[in-house]
Amino acid sequence: MSHSLYTTGEPIADTKSPAGPIADRWTSRKFEAKLVNPANKRRKKVIIVGTGLAGASAGATLGEQGYHVIQFCFQDSPRRAHSIAAQGGINAAKNYRNDGDSVHRLFYDTVKGGDYRSRESNVYRLAEISTQIIDQCVAQGVPFAREYGGLLDNRSFGGTQVSRTFYARGQTGQQLLLGAYQALLRQVDAGNVELHARHEMLDLIMSDGAARGVVVRDLITGEITSYTADAVVLASGGYSNVYFLSTNAMGSNVTASWRAHKHGAYFANPCFTQIHPTCIPVSGDHQSKLTLMSESLRNDGRVWVPKKAGDHRRPGDIPEEERDYYLERIYPAFGNLVPRDIASRAAKNVCDERRGVGPGGLGVYLDFTDAIERLGLDAVRAKYGNLFTMYERITGEDPYQMPMRIYPAVHYTMGGLWVDYDLQASIPGLFVIGEANFSDHGANRLGASALMQGLADGYFVLPTTIGDYLARGPFANVPDTAVVEAENRVTSAIDTLLSIKGDRTVDSFHRELGSIMWEYCGMERTEEGLRKALDLIVALRAEFWKRVNVPGSGDDLNQSLERAGRVADFLELAELMVVDALHRSESAGGHFRAEHQTGDGEARRDDENFSYVAAWEWKGVGEPPILHKETLEFEYVHPTTRSYR
C-alpha cells in the first residue's frame, strides 16, 4: 500500500519487563518496584476514569492501600458499568478438574488464541495472577457455581481443551462487579475514594509532559470542572460502538482514550476488533444495540445449518442426515469450542453459501436438543436458564423447544492505548487498564479472558506498578495555565457542536459510520474495500461538522450533546482503524484480509513482516499518523500455523 497514509517513526520498546525466566519476571518486577511509605500514601492523589471491573477493583485496592483516589463514571452508579453485561465466566488456571491445566497452558492457549500478536511477558503474568483472582472474589462472596460436593465448578470456553472457566450461571460479570463495587464503596465510606457519578472525562490535563489531571462535565448540570492528581488511570473500556451495532452498552465510547491519544498516548493495533459468534441476529433497522448470548452455550449447544442452500423448512422438519454440524465437521479436535474469530468466519461462510437461517438468511442454529436428552431439562435450565429466558423475551421463541438462531456481531476490542509492562502509556503518569489498553490478547481474545484481565490489572498489577511511579515524586503543582487551557479546549468543542445547527441527527451519522465500518472493516476486509471506507469516512466526518444538529444547550442534561462528542471521536478513530487494517497486509485473529488466506479459507499470518505491535501517534485531523513498531519476541511459544482441526 502507499505509505502516504502514514509515516514510520522510531521503534518503540517495552523497557519495564524484566529479563530472565518468564516465570520469575513478575516476581522480579514487584521486588524491583519502588515503594511508597504508608504515611506518604495519604498525600498521593490518583484519578481513575471508569468503574467497571478494572476501574472498580483498582479504586478499591488503591483506596485500601491508603491513596487518595478520585474516581469518575458517566453512569448513575458504578454498578451500571458495562462489565455487568458479561455472561459466561472468568478463566483461571486452578486445574480443579485435574484435566492437564496449568499456568503455562493458559499462557500458551492465550498466546496462540491471539494468533501470536501479544507479548509473552504480559500474557504469562496474566495467567499467573489468574489463580489469585478466584480466591479474591470468593473471599468477597461472589457466588460462583459449585458442584454437589461444594467445590467450585468449571466449564469450557473456545480455544481450549480444558475446563478452566469459573462462572455464576449467565451472570458472571454482574456478580464480579458487585463484589468489586462493594469493595469500592467500602473505601468511599472510609473516605479514601471520592466518587463522582454522572461525570464524563472530556480532556486530559498535561503538565511538564506528564498526565496530571482531567476535565470532566457533570452530565446533569453541564458544569465543567477540573481535577488534578499525581497520576491518571484510564479504565474506560473498549470502542466497539464505532460500529454502531455492537454488544456493548449504548453509552460505551472511546472518548477518554481518544482525548489522551491526542495528547501523545500511542494507540496500538486499533484494527484488532473481535466479532462474537453467538449473538442474536439483527432483526431490523430499528435496532440500536445487539444482544450477546454467552459463549458458554457452545459447551452443550450444537451449531448447524441445512446442508442444502435455500432450505427454509422449520428446524424440526430437517432430518439429522440433512444437517451440517459444520464446526464439528471442519474442526473435529475443538468442534463447537473453536475460538471466536474462527467460529464467526465459519458462520459467515455458510451464510454466504445461502445456507443461513432466519430473516435474510443471516443466522445459524444453536441447538440444545442433544443436551436436553443427555442431561435432562432441569440440568440445562439450571446451567443456562437465565440466558434462555433472555433469548425468549427478545425473540419470542422458546429455545427449549426449537434451536436458538445466532449470528456474529462486534463485541470486544483487542486494540487500545499502548502500555508497557507497568501498564503505563507513552505519556508519563498515564496508566491504562482493562479493555482500554491493548496489552494481553493480541489479535483475538479467548472467551472468559476479559474479566480475568480487568481484575488482574485492577487488583494486582496496577497497585504495584503505579506505586513505583508515585514513589519517584513529589511532583510539582500543576500550573493554573495548564488547567485553563484544558478547560478552554473542552468549552470550545462544546460551543462548536452546539453552533452548527444542521439538519441531521447525531444518531444518523453514527448509524452511517457503523454501516461503513461493518461493511468494509468488519469480519472480512480487502484492500479495495478499506480504501473505499477511508474515502467514505473522511467525507462523512466533513459532513458531520457541517450538518449535525445538536439541540439544547450545554448548561444542563443534554444527551444529544454527549453523543455528539462521542461520535466526533468515533469518526476520527474509524479512520485510524482503517489505516491500521490497510497497513497490516496479513490475516491475524480478528483481522481477516481476504487477500491473505490459505487454500481452505483460514487466516494466513505474515510473521516475517508483521510480528509487531503497531503503535500509532496522533498528528492532527487529516494528517498522516506516525507508526511506531514494537517488535514481538517469542521465546516460549514459537509461532506456528494456528490450527484447531
Active site residues: 340
Contact 468, 422 (CB under 8 A): yes
Cis ω before 624 (30° cut-off from 0): no
Q: Where is 38: in which H helix or E strand?
A: helix 38-41
171 backbone φψ class: left, alpha, beta (φ>0; ψ -120 to 50):
alpha
User: Within a 13 Å sphere around the CA of 247, how many CA atoms are in the beta-carbon half?
Assistant: 25
Q: How far is CA 539 from the centre of its chain?
A: 28
Q: Sort 314 into a burial class: Cβ within 10 Å, 0-12 / 13-18 / 19+.
A: exposed
Alpha-carbon span 118 to 112, nearest angstrom: 9
Amino acid letter, residue 369: T
Given the C-alpha cell 494528517, which residue does it identify? 623
Alpha-carbon span 501 to 545, nearest angstrom: 10
Contact 131, 93 (CB under 8 A): yes
Beta 165-166 vs 90-91: how paired, if at all?
Answer: antiparallel
Q: How far is CA 250 from the centre of its chain?
A: 14
Alpha-carbon span 452 to 434, nearest angstrom: 9
Alpha-carbon span 645 to 628, nearest angstrom: 35
Alpha-carbon span 268 to 627, nearest angstrom: 9
Alpha-carbon span 137 to 143, nearest angstrom: 9
Alpha-carbon span 583 to 591, nearest angstrom: 12
CB atoms within 10 A of CB 209: 11
CA angle 611, 615, 621 (to 5 degrees): 140
Amino acid letter, residue 219: L
